[in-house]
Amino acid sequence: MINLEGIRANMETKLSVKRSEGRIYQLELKRIDQRVTATCNCKASIMGFFCKHRISILAGDFSLLLSKEDEMRAQQT
């Protein structure tokens, strides 16, 4: 479960997550009071399904997150 203490109230955080094929998706976390929402720009999420990116992050699994270095490297290719 995600730790709400790490996300300030009324705050948005944008993260980059990776896919096995190498594609990068943008994940956005928003906290309003005690409620956290997550959106992703992957196909599953756009179609209204719970994507693995959102589920993983909200469950506390950050293995899909890209580091800043990986993100910069991916943008150069």
Write out pLDDT tens, residues 4-41.
565 666 778 888 988 767 788 999 988 887 788 899 99
Say if 15 falls within a structural domain. yes
**Residue 76 within any structural domain of the chain:** no
For the chain, what is the domain count?
1
- What pLDDT, in 10s, does the model give residues 33-64? 778 889 999 999 999 999 999 998 888 888 88
Long-range pairs for 59-66: beta carbons < 8 A, 24 or more residues apart:
59/1, 59/2, 60/1, 60/2, 60/3, 64/17, 64/18, 65/15, 65/16, 65/17, 65/18, 66/15, 66/16, 66/17, 66/18, 66/24
Q: Residue 46's domain spans which residues?
A: 4-66
pLDDT band at 74 (very low <50, low <70, confident <90, very high): low
In a domain, 71, yes or no: no
Q: Which pLDDT belongs to residue 46?
A: 94
pLDDT score, position 26:
93
